[in-house]
Amino acid sequence: MSTDHLNIEFALHQIPERLLDESKNPKPHVHSIEKYNELYQESISNPKEFWGRCAKEFLHWHKPFETVLSGGFEHGDISWFQEGQLNASYNCVDRHAIKDPDKVAIIYEADEPGQDRKITYGQLYRDVCRFANVLKHHGLKKGDTVAIYMPMVPEAVIAFLACARLGAVHSVVFAGFSSEALRDRIKDADSKIVITADEGCRGGKIIHTKKIVDDALKECPNVKRVFVFRRTGSDVPFNPSRDLWWHEEIEKQRPYCPPEIVNAEDPLFILYTSGSTGKPKGVLHTVAGYLLGAAVTFKYVFDYHEGDVHGCMADIGWITGHTYIIYGPLINGATTVLFESTPIYPSPSRYWETVSKHKITQFYTAPTAIRLLRKYGREHVDGHDLSSLRLIGSVGEPIQPEAWEWYNEVVGRNECAIIDTYWQTETGSIIISPFPGAVMTKAGSATVPSFGIDLVILDPLTGQEIKETKAEGVLAIRQPWPSIARTVYNNHDLYLRTYLHRYKGYYFTGDGVGRDSDGYYWIRGRVDDVINVSGHRLSTAEIEAALIIHPSVAEAAVIGVHDDLTGQAVHAFTTLKPHCESTDLGELTLQVRKVIGSFATPKKIYVVKDLPKTRSGKIMRRVLRKVVDGETDQLGDLSTLSNPTLIGPLIEAVKNS
């Protein structure tokens, strides 16, 4: 790995004065670097004391816990707050509805401007109870899994919370996935109920949500009930023996449903994510630890104060939506924005119109959106009243210093805290990020660890910790934190192998990282076969598996290639079976869209005669990467390549594409 960047001096950005001006803003919870250091040190040296205190402060327990932490990385039997009992929906809704029923819980910013809607905690309580009763009436029990395949509407949040109310496990599938991908996830999690909508609306386009569900369910005989929320009211296929309308069912139920009290370590949800293998993994999070991680980071990293309006632009189908649209804000009794549209619909000012209309105080999006808006130009930002903003955040992929500076200057007007937050589906909540009132920033660095995150950099080859401050290696964590995923659904062995046993004694993130002389962390990106396209996590193996299903394809190798807009783009190399040379490449593209979804579409497909392989038959993706990057003079050691004569034609094929 290169260490050149370690010699570059990255300027420190001071904490914006506005943030420290108590006459204008609430005093940040973590208001100095000393305070951060004190809390961080305590969280690492005395995690039981630290998290035990937080668990009492942030969560309502129906039965108190006695043991803060037991188990660990060795056996993958991590357990937090073991004897404790609680209910997630009670914690997110009831206690706030009792205290302040008229407080706004959700601001729904619909796809078409002007159709926004506000839902108070009181209303949310009644809606969640009603829908929980519907699910209960149709036989849903504690521990059952429910698939949620929904657009960004408040009813999706209600569906999450209704499952949690009954102690059921939600498995949310991002609504951009294809019917085949949805089918595989329904089957893997053994979901018997699906919650969906007639159609979705995004960026002025209609998504045929129900039709996709119907296609998926052709091969899911175990799904007995489908609840359909009416989003557009269009005529959609409806199977009366299986399907039920949301609006008709809730009419039949009363708005009171007692919460099912569950154990701290009972599952709250499964969320599928991509890894090195072709098959997506069902990452499982448990109730108390996950909620606590979400709640604590929401309060301290986003510096949440009463009266704030939190605007996280992610989709609820990904972990960012789970943690920072739904659970983190609602546990804290905050007002959260649910944004159904895109950054450029109906114009590239949409985000800023939304910020000024709802007086958003914390705004959170992904680098891919920042790059896109930067390309459109600052004229779409200027002139909008962004004075409510105190903090702007970024998540999902490394943010380039240029994009960071633009975000800071144009959106933040140099007076907002800017937080680049690093985390993963598996970590449940943010693990590296500046604390807005305490940590000075550097453009492009996620900066410092969150509370309880005992970060280390390992030498990737020896697995030894690199103790020097300046370091380069792979990112790992030395002790468990509450919101770490507990298993991969139905595959604990894969969980152990992927995260805990790769480097014994540590949780392994799969990301490369650097640490500069100030101790700041710089995420370099994945060191495994995971690629990141517009913040969507994809595995090369998954895309290859999709391509190989096509009858003409003999072999496929997929790589991630740098892309100015999407971060990385998918490039696929294929060899075709004999007599298939005339295959239309459009068919191969469609194949990927069909098996995964349009967000995985290859930007380029190269048909080649042969793929570079080692003598033992492993595809040498490194060679493919170098050829696409035009670095054909740096192909490295080719002594293990089984057929060196293919290099010339390979370079030609890429050139001519």
DSSP, res 9: P
- 460-469, Cβ contacts within 8 angstroms, sequence gap of 24 or more: 460/512, 460/527, 463/503, 463/504, 469/515, 469/516, 469/517, 469/518, 469/519
Q: How many whole angstroms separate alpha carbon 425 and alpha carbon 290?
A: 11
Shortest spacing between CB 424 and ligand WTA, in angstroms = 4
Q: Of the two residues 214 and 528, which places its CB atom closer to ligand WTA in the complex?
A: 528
Q: Of the two residues 43 and 421, which places its CB atom closer to ligand WTA in the complex?
A: 421
Shortest spacing between CB 522 and ligand WTA, in angstroms = 9
Copy the structure tokens of residue 566.
């999407």
Q: Of the two residues 260 and 420, which places its CB atom closer to ligand WTA in the complex?
A: 420
Helix (H, G, I), strand (E, B) or coil at 290: helix
Q: Tokens 């609504």 correspond to what residue?
A: 175
- Tell me whether the omega of the peptide bond preceding residue 346 falls within 30 degrees of 0, making it cis: yes
- Name the helix (H) or strand (E) containing 530: strand 530-533
Shortest spacing between CB 366 and ligand WTA, in angstroms = 9
Q: Of the two residues 84 and 452, which places its CB atom closer to ligand WTA in the complex?
A: 452
Side-chain-side CA neighbours of 429 within 13 Å: the count stands at 31
CA-to-CA separations, 162 to 83, 158, 299, 554, in angstroms, rounded:
24, 6, 24, 46
Beta bridge partners of 607: 574
In terms of DSSP H, where are the helices of 439-516?
492-495
Q: How many whole angstroms separate alpha carbon 198 and alpha carbon 217?
A: 15
Shortest spacing between CB 630 and ligand WTA, in angstroms = 25
| Spatial contact of 87 and 167, defined as CB atoms under 8 Å apart | yes
Task: Count Cβ atoms below 10 Å from residue 640 Cβ, excluding itself.
Answer: 12
Q: Of the two residues 515 and 537, which places its CB atom closer to ligand WTA in the complex?
A: 537
Shortest spacing between CB 271 and ligand WTA, in angstroms = 9
Shortest spacing between CB 23 and ligand WTA, in angstroms = 32
Q: Of the two residues 89 and 433, which places its CB atom closer to ligand WTA in the complex?
A: 433
Q: How many whole angstroms separate alpha carbon 354 and alpha carbon 363?
A: 10
Q: Of the two residues 55 and 366, which places its CB atom closer to ligand WTA in the complex?
A: 366
Shortest spacing between CB 535 and ligand WTA, in angstroms = 7
Helix (H, G, I), strand (E, B) or coil at 79: strand
| Spatial contact of 376 and 324, defined as CB atoms under 8 Å apart | no
Q: Of the two residues 225 and 526, which places its CB atom closer to ligand WTA in the complex?
A: 526
Copy the structure tokens of residue 112.
């078409």
Shortest spacing between CB 433 and ligand WTA, in angstroms = 8
- Judge residue 482's burial from the number of C-beta atoms within 10 Å of its C-beta, 0-12 exposed, 13-18 middle, 19 or more buried: buried
Q: CA Rg, the chain, in Å? A: 24
Shortest spacing between CB 610 and ligand WTA, in angstroms = 31
Q: Of the two residues 209 and 483, which places its CB atom closer to ligand WTA in the complex?
A: 483
Shortest spacing between CB 44 and ligand WTA, in angstroms = 21
Q: Which residue is nearest to ligand WTA (CB)?
A: 425
Copy the structure tokens of residue 656.
């001519």
Shortest spacing between CB 367 and ligand WTA, in angstroms = 8
Q: Of the two residues 39 and 395, which places its CB atom closer to ligand WTA in the complex?
A: 395
Helix (H, G, I), strand (E, B) or coil at 33: helix
Q: Where does this chain bind ligand WTA (CB under 6 A)? A: 273, 318-320, 395-398, 420-425, 446, 509-511, 523, 525-526, 532, 537
Shortest spacing between CB 514 and ligand WTA, in angstroms = 12
Q: Of the two residues 80 and 499, which places its CB atom closer to ligand WTA in the complex?
A: 499
Q: Of the two residues 421 and 552, which places its CB atom closer to ligand WTA in the complex?
A: 421
Q: Of the two residues 419 and 627, which places its CB atom closer to ligand WTA in the complex?
A: 419
Copy the structure tokens of residue 212.
């996709």
Shortest spacing between CB 473 and ligand WTA, in angstroms = 15
- Across the beta sheet with 455-458, the strand order is 455-458, 471-477, 507-515, 521-526
Helix (H, G, I), strand (E, B) or coil at 419: strand
Side chain identity, residue 201: C
Q: Tokens 């994809």 correspond to what residue?
A: 538
